[in-house]
A = this chain, B = another copy of it.
Amino acid sequence: MQLAEAKAKFIADWGRLGTNWGINRTMAQIHALLMVSPDPLGADDVMEQLSISRGNANMNLRELIDWGLVQKVIVPGERREFFSAEKDIWKVARQIVKERKKRELDTMLPVLKELSEVEGDKRDRSVKTFTDTINNIRKFSEQADKILDTMIKADEHWFLGSLMKLFSGKS
């Protein structure tokens, strides 16, 4: 396969993957494009290569910056802004985990606590089923919270290495 074709396929697949994970297709595609670009690209490059409008490119680039996945790069002597993406997928994964945890898990935990304090007789089956389920989710979430915090701080070699070792040993 030629490079151009391979790039196009990667961008399309990464975009499709994104939509399965609640990320808009264009945002994922811009991310893919920047990940495989040897040099930072300008908004015009992104617009042209993905056939999207200026407004769209601008909004999604801003969103990617907001997620910490893309950075503005200043090229001396150039008026316009350039953009480049982190290429180390471990750092990308960690950054995504960090942001999603902040946006989702951290906001969910207080809600679960509130829901677990529902009024009513615990001998009532409806109440019991509800609180049991919520508490189960809550406990699970609290454990996930700690594990993800560790992962966010961890170094790739240590983290994945430890996991692999752990899982091959079944200790």
Contact = CB atoms under 8 A, between A and B. Distances in A.
Interface of A: 1-3, 6-7, 9-10, 13, 17, 19-22, 35-38, 87-90, 93, 100, 104, 108, 111, 114-115, 117-120, 125-130, 132-134, 136-137, 140, 143, 146-147, 150, 160, 162-164, 166-167, 171
Most chain B beta-carbon neighbours within 10 Å: one of A13, A117, A133: A133
B9 A137 contact: no
Contacts of A111: 9, 13
18 contacts: A2-B118, A3-B119, A3-B126, A20-B104, A21-B21, A22-B22, A36-B133, A37-B129, A38-B128, A38-B129, A87-B129, A89-B136, A143-B164, A146-B167, A147-B160, A147-B163, A162-B166, A162-B171
A2 B87 contact: no
Contact of A93 (B3, B19, B140): B140
B164 A6 contact: no
Contacts of A163: 143, 147, 166
Nearest to A39: B125
Query: Shortest 10 CB-CB distances between A and B: which pairs?
Result: A38-B129, A150-B167, A6-B118, A38-B125, A20-B22, A89-B140, A36-B130, A89-B137, A22-B22, A89-B136
A35 B133 contact: yes
